[in-house]
Amino acid sequence: PFRRLLATRATVLAEAARALAGAQVVVATALVRDAAVLAARRTRPPELAGLWELPGGRVEAGESEADAVVRECREELGTDVVVDARLGTDLRIDAGVLRVHAAHLADGAPGPRALEHSGLRWVTAAEVPGVDWVPADRAVVADLVDLLRP
Ligand code: DCM
């Protein structure tokens, strides 16, 4: 019991330290085109490989969330996006906090390509609930359906 108390305290302290330090923000992109959203299949880590996500990644120091969305879409999808509104609430993930931003392709930007994923697919509102999403992204399914149904 004493060791469990110590372990519990360590967890509480670790969480408090993370909150004080400012949790790492990870952005995810709900890229919408023709009433469909882009889902990307992850290749790593093993527990997430094969599952589908909204593409994104860690916000770097001195970078806005919108800048991070644009950069990640260039790196992972080879295309330029314009960021629209935040979607849903903060989602707790192991890495920190995940924030979803809706976006659309910039004028004349090429279609996205899977530069770092093992597949891409455009998903309609009807299809969104049936996708095998990574756990965090599953929490925005209802918001995605709303976003895609005008
Ligand atoms: N992540 C997530 N859902 C997303 C994007 C990222 O759950 N749509 C998680 C997976 C990783 C972390 O955020 O734990 C960092 O992402 P990445 O490994 O893609 O840089």
Summarised one tens digit per residue, pLDDT across range 69-95 is: 999 999 999 999 999 999 999 999 999
CA distance 87 to 147: 8
SS3 25: strand
What's the confidence (pLDDT) of residue 31? 99
CA distance 59 to 52: 20
The one-letter amino acid at 20: L
Q: Is the pLDDT of residue 16 over 70?
A: no
- Ligand 1 contacts CB of residue 54 (under 6 A): yes
**Residue among 65, 93, 94 whose CB has most ligand 1 atoms within 8 A, to mutate:** 93
**Residue identifier of the C-alpha nearest atom 19 of ligand 1:** 57
When pLDDT is averaged across residues 102-114 and rounded to a whole number, the result is: 98
Instruction: Write the DSSP string, 109-121.
Output: PPPP--SSSS-EE
What's the confidence (pLDDT) of residue 128? 98
User: Can you give the pTM of this predicted structure?
Assistant: 0.88
- Ligand 1 contacts CB of residue 93 (under 6 A): yes
Summarised one tens digit per residue, pLDDT across range 17-75 is: 666 667 899 999 999 999 999 999 999 999 999 999 999 999 999 999 999 999 999 99
CA distance 104 to 90: 21
